[in-house]
Amino acid sequence: MLKAKMRKAGFLFSAVTSSVFVFYLSASAQVSAFKPEPSGEVVAGNVSEEIEPGQNIDMYGRYFPTVDAQSRSGEIGIVEARAQYVNKIKLFDKLPLKFIVNDRYIGIENSTSCYLPAHLFGVSAGVEATFPFFNMDNSYLRVGVYPSFYGDKYDFDSSSFRIPSNFMAIFIPNDRWTFIVGVAVAPDFETEAFPILGFIYTPNDKWSFNLIPLRPNVSYKINENLTAFVEGGFSRLEFEVDKPEQENAVLWYKEMHLGTGITFKFNQHIQATLAGGGVFDRVIRYKNLNLGKVAVENGAYCEARVNLSF
C-alpha cells in the first residue's frame, strides 16, 4: 500500500513538473522569438557565492538522433557541443567581474532537398559586472555585454558580428528566494529586445526550484555527491551562412527540450552530468522563406556534461 502511494506521488510530481516546464518553455519561446543565447547562466544561484573569485569550465555534448522531416522527404540529425570558460575576479577588491568565453558548435546531418550547412559555429567573449542596486539590501544590478560571431565557418564575415547584452535586477529577500527581472538586448537580430524573468526557490537543503534561463530545473539532492533533476531548455539561434545561390543568408534554428538526469560530484572541483529526454518544436529555416525551411519531427536527445571549478 505504501509503495503504491509513493509511486502515485512520484507520478504526480513528474506530471506536474513536466507541465510547469512545458508552460514555462512555451511562454519563454513566445516572447524571445529568434535571438542569441546569453553567454552563461543568467544567475547561478546564490549571488554572494557566484561573485567570489575563481575559474570555471563547463562543457557539454548533446546528441539528437536522426528523425524524419515534416512535410518533405528526408531526415535531419543534429549534434551539438559547447564549451564555456568563466574567470571571476574582484576589481580593486570590490567590484565583481566575470570574463566569459564561449565556443559553440552545431553539426547537421541533412538528407532533405533543402540546402543546410553541415556546420554552424558561435563564438563570444563577454564581461559581466554586478553592482549593489541603489544601496538596497540584498539587491543587485547585473550588466553583461557579449560581442559574438555566428556563422557556418570559423573564418567569420564581419556581417556575422553581433553585440548582445543583458541588464538584470536581482533581489534576494532571504536564503530561500531569489528573484530576477531584466531585459536582453540583441541588436541586428529579429527580436532586438525581450524580457528576462525567473526565480530560484530552495525550501531546504534537498530541493531546489530554479526557474530561470537558460536551464530551468527542479533538482533533488540525494546525498552529498549525487543529485537528480528535471530540466528544460530552448534554443533560438541565428547564424549568417553561405548558400550556393546567396552569401550571408540568415539561418534560424530553434528547438525546445525537456528531460531528466543525474549529476555526480567527484570532489569540490569536478562534477559530471548525464541527461536525456525529448525534443520538440524544432525548425531550421532561412529568414527569407524562399530559401527554404525544414520542420523536424519530435524526437529524443541525450547529453553529457562536465564542469570544472578551480
Each residue of 12-46: pLDDT tens digit?
444 444 444 444 444 444 333 344 444 333 343 44
Nearest residue to 34 (alpha-carbon basis) of 310, 242, 285, 308: 285
Q: Is residue 143 part of a domain?
A: yes
Band of pLDDT at residue 218, cut at 50, 70 and 90: very high
166 is in which domain, residue-wise?
14-309
pLDDT tens readout for residues 205-215: 999 999 887 78
pTM of the predicted structure, to 2 decimals: 0.81
Q: Is residue 276 part of a domain?
A: yes
Statement: residue 304 has pLDDT above 70: yes
Q: Is residue 3 part of a domain?
A: no
Whether the upstream peptide bond of residue 214 has omega within 30° of 0, thus cis, is yes
Arithmetic mean of pLDDT, 281-304: 92
Q: Is residue 165 part of a domain?
A: yes
| Residue 277 amino acid letter | G
Pairing of strands 119-132, 139-145: antiparallel
Other C-beta atoms lying within 10 Å of the C-beta of residue 120: 23
Query: Which pLDDT value is given to residue 193?
Result: 78
Q: Is residue 142 part of a domain?
A: yes
pLDDT tens readout for residues 48-94: 455 567 899 999 999 999 999 998 899 999 999 999 999 998 887 77
Indicate the burial class of 137 (C-beta count within 10 angstroms; 0-12, 13-18, 19 or more): exposed
Q: What is the Cα–Cα distance from 134 to 197, expressed in whole angstroms?
A: 20
Residue 66 grid coordinates:
536522426
Residue 19 grid coordinates:
507541465
Q: What is the domain count for the chain? A: 1
Q: Is residue 22 part of a domain?
A: yes
Q: Which residue has the higher pLDDT, 67 or 158?
A: 67
Give the percent of the chain with pLDDT over 70.
83
Statement: residue 277 has pLDDT above 50: yes
Arithmetic mean of pLDDT, 283-295: 90
Residue 263 grid coordinates:
549529476
Q: Is residue 4 part of a domain?
A: no
Q: Is residue 8 part of a domain?
A: no
Arithmetic mean of pLDDT, 252-278: 95
Statement: residue 288 has pLDDT above 90: no
Query: Which pLDDT value is given to residue 50?
Result: 56
Arithmetic mean of pLDDT, 285-289: 89
Q: Check: CB of residue 235 under 8 Å from CB of residue 252.
A: no
